């Protein structure tokens, strides 16, 4: 037999090695198939624990890491000089006076602010970044809580929350249109110019997509797209000195009160044209259409008259004549009661719409202006300008005010002191916020509205105490 070549021996060795690998692999598979399989071990800090326990552990770890860091905290109060107690979640407490600036470990803090003559204020804050807080102390006994102030343009005549409560629109009688503020941050988003003049009133559609602003000098209404904050069109009223607006229940018609021509423009919004001019009592201002769309109530400023107009026929009926100056109207959502205020007699009235009987609801402070109802119809808010100065554009001897009045009994539930000529006023659609303006101070106040049960049980709040603070010293 001839000797084998080296290449043959190499091929034999390679084949033997390959056979051995295959046998081992097959045996390993058979060995694994014959053994019970175990689940793979989970990895990570929450491995093998119930989700709730793992989540709690993760939260505790996050808190521990937060507490390892320090953050700057600034606290200012109105008025300043209040005692400040800062309590950490672990119970450690730091005491100081306002204004306060300091560095603290992160985590949940409880701030307690106190000052003689004011209600104690407790605020909770999570210190997970540098923070600056501006807090308002309420005079002792006040049931509403002040959230802040914002500065506006010249002569804020009216304020209006958007239906979703996210924005606050302000009409500037002495400016060039309207301003839009973020209701949460109180920062101005945009100023919308309406030609060369200011605006009197602002009105939203129910869906909040369209906004109407009235303008006296041009006898017109500006329609604004809320999303883009741009003017869509200008609607001529064909009246003179146009002021207050109201939408029909189906929002197809816009009513506009014309102060000098003593009529109401009925505008078809689809075409933007005046359908007719309804003659009214002298110097019409407040307007309120009934929920069924059949009637329109008009407040006459010249003689303190309340007029009802049948919209189908145009027939009118006079329900009240005080000889004063009826200014504003607001009705409840059910169409059962209508409220009016008289700027000359310092009174608020209520009308039972089923019988159209009118009665005095309550006395007000001097020169009541704007009125509004909470969504449940239980509280009537009234802004009061205070006694006039030498003329309308000069501060008078009194501060303005806002009264919260029980809409059924007429009892004053609480009162807030404002600035020079408190004028514009609005309650948010959810009933949680109240805004009002100081016409001569270019300032807007924002308050948190307490539940009705708290107001009713509050012993009148500052309804009596505030009177001593109205006269300027």
Reported as a single tens digit per residue, the pLDDT across 270-282 is 999 999 999 999 9
> What pLDDT does 51 receive?
81
Mean pLDDT estimate for the chain = 91
What's the pLDDT score for residue 53? 75
pLDDT at 47: 56
pTM of the shown model: 0.87
pLDDT in tens, 102-120: 999 999 999 999 999 999 9
pLDDT, tens digit, for every residue of 333-364?
Answer: 999 999 999 999 999 999 999 999 999 999 99
- pLDDT (average), residues 146-164: 98
Q: What is the mean pLDDT of residues 165-186?
A: 97
C-alpha span between 378 and 453 (Å, rounded): 10
Backbone angles phi, psi at 23, to 5 degrees: -65, -40
User: Is residue 3 pLDDT above 90, yes or no?
Assistant: no
The confidence band for 52, taking pLDDT boundaries of 50, 70 and 90, is: confident
Q: Tens digits of per-residue pLDDT, 4-33?
A: 444 444 444 444 444 333 333 444 433 334
Least confident of 65-69, 289-293, 294-298, 456-460: 65-69
| Torsion 442-432-376-223 (CA) sign | positive
pLDDT of residue 50: 80
Query: Above pLDDT 70, what percent of the chain?
Result: 89
DSSP string, 164-205: TSSEEEEEETTTTEEEEEETTT--EEEEEE-TTS--S-EEE-
Cβ atoms of residues 237 and 195 within 8 Å: no
pLDDT at 66: 75
Among 283, 287, 247, which residue's Cα sits nearest to residue 267?
A: 247
Interatomic CA distance for residues 417 and 431, integer angstroms? 20
The residue ranges of DSSP E strands in 89-238, in sequence order, are 93-97, 100-105, 107-114, 121-127, 131-136, 145-151, 156-161, 167-172, 177-182, 188-193, 202-204, 210-215, 220-225, 230-236
Rounded Cα distance, 313 and 98, in Å: 65
Q: Average pLDDT in the 382-402 region?
A: 94
Q: What percent of the chain has pLDDT over 90?
A: 84
Give the number of other CB atoms < 10 A from CB of residue 403: 25
């Amino acid at each position: 037999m001839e000797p084998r070549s080296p290449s043959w021996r190499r091929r034999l060795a390679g084949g033997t090695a390959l056979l051995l690998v295959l046998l081992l692999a097959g045996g390993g598979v058979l060995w694994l198939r014959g053994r019970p399989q175990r689940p793979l071990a989970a990895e990570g800090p929450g491995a093998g624990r119930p989700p709730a326990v793992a989540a709690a552990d993760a939260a505790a770890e996050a808190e521990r890491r937060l507490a390892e860091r320090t953050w700057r905290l600034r606290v200012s109060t109105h008025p300043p000089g209040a005692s400040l107690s800062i309590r950490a979640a672990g119970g450690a407490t730091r005491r100081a006076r306002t204004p306060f600036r300091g560095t603290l470990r992160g985590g949940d803090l409880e701030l307690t602010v106190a000052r003689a003559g004011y209600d104690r204020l407790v605020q909770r804050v999570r210190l997970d970044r540098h923070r600056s807080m501006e807090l308002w102390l309420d005079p002792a006994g006040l049931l509403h809580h002040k959230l802040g102030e914002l500065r506006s343009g010249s002569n804020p005549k009216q304020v209006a929350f958007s239906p979703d409560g996210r924005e606050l629109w302000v009409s500037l009688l002495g400016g060039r249109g309207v301003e839009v503020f973020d209701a949460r941050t109180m920062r101005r988003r945009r100023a919308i110019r309406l030609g060369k003049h200011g605006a009197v009133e602002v009105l939203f559609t129910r869906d909040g997509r369209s906004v109407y602003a009235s303008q006296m000098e041009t006898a017109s209404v500006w329609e604004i797209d809320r999303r883009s904050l741009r003017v869509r069109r200008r609607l001529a009223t064909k009246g003179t000195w146009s002021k207050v607006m109201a939408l029909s229940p189906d929002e197809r018609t816009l009513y506009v009160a014309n102060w000098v021509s003593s009529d109401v423009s009925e505008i078809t919004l689809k075409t933007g044209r005046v359908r007719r001019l309804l003659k009214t009592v002298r110097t019409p201002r407040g307007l309120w259409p009934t929920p069924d769309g059949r009637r329109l109530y008009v407040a006459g400023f010249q003689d303190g008259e309340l007029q009802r107009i049948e919209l189908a026929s145009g027939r009118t009926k006079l329900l009240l004549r005080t000889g004063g100056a009826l200014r504003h109207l607001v009705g409840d959502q059910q169409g059962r009661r209508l409220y009016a205020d008289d700027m000359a007699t310092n009174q608020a009235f209520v009308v039972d719409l089923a019988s159209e009987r009118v009665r005095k609801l309550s006395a007000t402070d001097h020169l009541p202006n704007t009125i509004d109802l909470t969504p449940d119809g239980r509280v009537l808010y009234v802004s009061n300008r205070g006694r006039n100065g030498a003329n309308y554009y000069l501060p008078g001897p009194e501060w303005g005010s806002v009264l919260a009045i029980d809409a059924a009994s007429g009892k004053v539930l609480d009162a807030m002191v404002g600035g020079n000529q408190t004028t514009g006023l609005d309650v948010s659609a959810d009933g949680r916020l109240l805004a009002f303006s100081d016409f001569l101070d270019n300032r807007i106040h924002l308050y948190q509205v307490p539940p009705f049960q708290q107001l009713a049980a509050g012993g009148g709040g500052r309804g009596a105490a505030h009177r001593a603070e109205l006269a300027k010293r």
